[in-house]
Structure 1
Amino acid sequence: MAEEGRQPSMTWLFFSPSGRIGRLPFFLSWLFWFLVGSVFLMQMLKNENEDTALAFWTLALVASGILSTVSIAMLAIKRLHDIGYPGPLALCLFIPVLSPIVFIALCLWPSVKGENEFGSPNDGPGTRSQ
């Protein structure tokens, strides 16, 4: 467990379900994963006639896809905590018809003011209330 008052880390931001994050960090983190996938896809298209390079970039795209899926689920859980809802609702992001609606809602829904059952606003690791 992290120490009280410690600054949030990138590992906490991308891969931990605890705490809360606001709208901007949620959107920027999602945008980061979108750009990573886009770079790998661009490299695949650029190297479509070279078997070795295509295999490498395809593997990189698949790996980033797995990492980004896990990360976006953790980000959605923290964002749901920030608006006062339980984390399991993040599963709605995996329902094809609902996912764009849920994503837009998570980007636009304002944070709960003050502390809630998931901690204080913009909590990092170790600052979650018990």
Structure 2
Amino acid sequence: MADRPQLLWLFFGVSGRVSRAAYFLGGLLVAIAQAFPLYRFTLVMEGTPESALWSTVFMVVFLASLWSNVALAVKRLHDLGKTGLAAVVLFVPVISIVAFLVLCLFPGQQGPNRYGQRTNAPAR
């Protein structure tokens, strides 16, 4: 099991590189984290305190997950030897789907690059 600093780096840090598998699995975990409070919200009656609670939980998770998706994409782009600024395309409808597929399918650079010595690690 990864320790807390590694998980914080994976989901919130923007330095270093991540592999295709780490990007995909991290993105999947973020999507599940978003889906759970949304699912719970749909199960309760509208206008109740429980509805307000799940709505608030969803908004907090959604905002945190936005940053997590950007951080994962930036590190994945670094693994490809590209600047993290290209992560902006994840916010463009339709293009974001293509960008996600590219980040999941194209292999990263072998060996060190200007963004880190190895994949799945922060830059040192």
TM over 0.5: yes
* Residue number among 95, 99, 102 corresponding to 2:96 in the alignment: 99
Is 1:24 the counterpart of 2:51? The answer is: no
The answer (yes or no) to whether the contact 1:19–1:81 under 8 Å persists in 2 is yes
The answer (yes or no) to whether the contact 1:20–1:82 under 8 Å persists in 2 is yes
Instruction: Give the secondary-structure state (helix, strand or coil) at the position aligned to 2:107.
Output: coil
For residues 11-44 of structure 1, give each alpha carbon's deviation from its aligned partner in whole angstroms, at most 9, with x where no partner exists: 1110010000000111111101111111111110
The answer (yes or no) to whether the contact 2:111–2:117 under 8 Å persists in 1 is yes
Is 1:64 the counterpart of 2:57? The answer is: no
1:96–1:66: structure 2 CA closer, same or farther, 3 Å change rule?
same
Higher helix share goes to which structure?
2
The answer (yes or no) to whether the contact 1:8–1:124 under 8 Å persists in 2 is no
- Determine which structure has greater relative contact order: mean sequence separation of CA pairs < 8 Å that are 6+ residues apart, divided by chain length: 1
Shift of residue 122, structure 1, vs aligned partner = 1.9
Is 1:89 the counterpart of 2:86? The answer is: yes
1:56–1:69: structure 2 CA closer, same or farther, 3 Å change rule?
same
Structure 2 unaligned regions, length at least 5: none
Instruction: Supply the RMSD in Å over aligned alpha carbons.
Output: 1.6
Q: What is the aligned-residue identity percentage?
A: 35
Shift of residue 119, structure 1, vs aligned partner = 1.1
For residues 52-75 of structure 1, give each alpha carbon's deviation from its aligned partner in whole angstroms, at most 9, with x where no partner exists: 001000111111110000011011
The residue number in structure 1 matching 2:39 is 42
Aligned length: 121
Shift of residue 49, structure 1, vs aligned partner = 4.4
The answer (yes or no) to whether the contact 2:19–2:120 under 8 Å persists in 1 is no
